[in-house]
Amino acid sequence: MVFIHIPKPWQLPEFKVSHEAAFYNRRRFLKGVVGVGIASTVLPLTSCDRSTRQTTDPLQGVIPLRAPQNPNFTDAGRPLTNELFAATYNNFYEFGSSKNIWPAAQSLPTNPWTVEVSGLVKNPKTYDLDDLMQFPLEERIYRFRCVEAWAMVVPWLGFPMRLMLEAAEPLSTAKFVRFTSFYDRDITTGPSFPPSQFLPWPYTEGLRVDEMANDLAFFAIGAYGHTLPKQHGAPIRMVVPWKYGFKGAKSVVKIEFVDAQPATYWNTISANEYKFESNVEPDVPHPRWSQASERLVGPGGNPYAWEEVPSRLYNGYGEFVADLYDRAAV
Ligand code: MTE
């Protein structure tokens, strides 16, 4: 029996229904791309990248970036996800609701870029790209778990969020942090939904201050040995590996310390499905699918194969984060 599911535009697509066809189309496409050869284009940092050009290179515009590996995160216990797969299977709704948004995402203007840190802090500051590069960069290989139940392993380059938090010196009244992604109606044209459809752009996410202070919480400015491709959320994105992937806002432009839990994009759309906390909890099903297992890409050295494996509480990072929460680690 063929089951065709047409999700409402604001629903995250359920992976079991939507992903097979998307995956095989992409696989065919990738074979074609690989056939003509892929080379990453290195552009100078000062280049103007306000381009709407679509090319055959998903890694266009990236610049080599090296940083020492953090010894605590060199082995995720799973194979590293094939880079080309990770760069062409994305969620970035500002550029469309399919996984194949990487060509559209090339219109994201990432240089110049600023990140404003403000709100209930002693030291508000606006960082530019050079300032971000001053943080001590490191590489961390993290497991990555989407709420749609697919999973990857990515070698991120960046710095712990707590370094930015410490520089800001939050006031005692700051309890939460709101992160805002880039949004410009002329550029982020992906969501071509009916005008009547309410979507709470810009994309926002939030953490408790103590979650942001946890050593695992990371700002990535690169991956796989170079700066982030735009579709991964260049030039800076959140990586919060014990939570579902939607908690990691891409292309962050603003970080505000606030006293109350902020409204966030998916939680505003469907609070029942996308909770503010959204830790990976295998025993707490999404209302439309189970979270007990996940589809891991790349098992057995095959970059395009998927394997169903059990999900782990806090995505296996309980030793770092369990004490932030009430429930006992399993
Ligand atoms: N950030 C923004 N601004 N817009 C988005 O649509 N999608 C989220 C998250 N961050 C999203 C976002 C979701 S649902 C996931 S799973 C991850 O980005 C996907 O990250 P990746 O495409 O780099 O793997």
CATH number (domain holding residue 266): 3.90.420.10
Mean pLDDT on 47-64: 69
**CA 46 / ligand 1 centre spacing (Å):** 26
**Total domains present in the chain:** 1
Confirm if 125 and 119 have CB atoms less than 8 A apart.
Answer: no
Domain assignment present for 179: yes
For residue 291, pLDDT over 70 is answered with yes
Domain assignment present for 146: yes
192-201 own/partner pairs: CB under 8 Å, 24+ apart: 193/9, 193/10, 194/9, 197/9, 197/10, 199/10, 199/269, 200/263, 200/265, 200/268, 200/269, 201/94, 201/265
Residue bearing the CA closest to ligand 1, atom 21: 90
Q: What percent of the chain has pLDDT over 90?
A: 75
Domain assignment present for 64: yes
Query: What is the largest distance, in Å, between two alpha-carbon atoms of the chain?
Result: 61
Residue bearing the CA closest to ligand 1, atom 14: 246
**CA 278 / ligand 1 centre spacing (Å):** 14
pTM: 0.85
Domain assignment present for 129: yes
Which residues contact ligand 1 via a Cβ below 6 A?
90-94, 146, 181, 203, 232-233, 245-246, 248-251
Domain assignment present for 24: no
**CA 251 / ligand 1 centre spacing (Å):** 10
Q: What is the pLDDT of residues 110-153, one digit of tens each?
A: 999 999 999 999 999 999 999 999 999 999 999 999 999 999 99
The ligand 1 atom at the shortest distance from the C-alpha of residue 232 is 23
Cα–Cα–Cα angle for 322, 76, 137, rounded to 5 degrees: 85
Domain assignment present for 16: no
Domain hosting 125: range is 34-329
Q: What is the pLDDT of residues 210-269, one digit of tens each?
A: 999 999 999 999 999 999 999 999 999 999 999 999 999 999 999 999 999 999 999 999
Per-residue DSSP letters for 70-109?
Answer: PGGGS--SSPPPPHHHHTTS---GGG-SSS--HHHHTT--
